[in-house]
């Protein structure tokens, strides 16, 4: 499962790599898809997702968690529907995060360490 895949014409480089891979059985984001993303589901990543527990073997979430106010609940939800996780976070020294109004927190090394403390996944910054 690819969380935060992008929607419509917006696909990041990492989303393109995963969203268009035939092995990905679900691409999930908050926006409306224009029909170009296979297996697309529109959902708010901060709430219960429309999937069963352990439905997926792995989820990939690149640059999503810093946009979610209750990131701990969201991460627990994601870990419940996938046995393994790969989470990519912005680097703490990335100055672009200062101007991104959709971030709900500043990504610090301390916060990254908190995210890394959750079992069942890999976290990259």
Residue 10 has what pLDDT?
63
pLDDT of residue 11: 65
**What confidence tens digit (pLDDT) does each residue in 1-15 have?**
888 877 766 666 766
Range of the domain at 52: 2-124
Does residue 72 surpass a pLDDT of 70? Answer: yes
Looking at residue 12, what is its pLDDT?
A: 67
Give the pLDDT mean for 60-71: 89
* Tokens describing residue 45: 């990543």
pLDDT at 51: 94
For the record, the structure tokens of 20 come out as: 């268009």
**What CATH number should be reported for the domain holding residue 33?**
3.40.50.150
Number of domains in the chain: 1
Q: What is the pLDDT of residue 52?
A: 94
Taking the C-alpha atoms of residue 74 and residue 85, their distance in angstroms, rounded to an integer, is 12
């Amino acid at each position: 499962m690819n969380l935060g895949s992008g929607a419509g014409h917006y696909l990041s480089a990492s989303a393109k790599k995963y969203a268009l891979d035939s092995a990905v059985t679900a691409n999930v984001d908050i926006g409306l898809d224009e029909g170009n993303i296979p297996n697309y589901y529109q959902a708010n990543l901060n709430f219960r997702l429309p999937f069963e527990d352990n439905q997926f073997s792995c989820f990939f979430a690149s640059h999503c968690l810093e946009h979610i106010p209750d990131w701990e609940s969201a991460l627990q939800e994601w870990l419940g529907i996938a046995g393994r996780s790969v989470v990519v976070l912005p680097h703490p020294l990335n100055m672009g995060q200062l101007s991104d109004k959709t971030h709900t927190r500043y990504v610090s090394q301390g916060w990254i360490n908190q995210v890394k403390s959750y079992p069942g996944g890999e976290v990259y910054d």
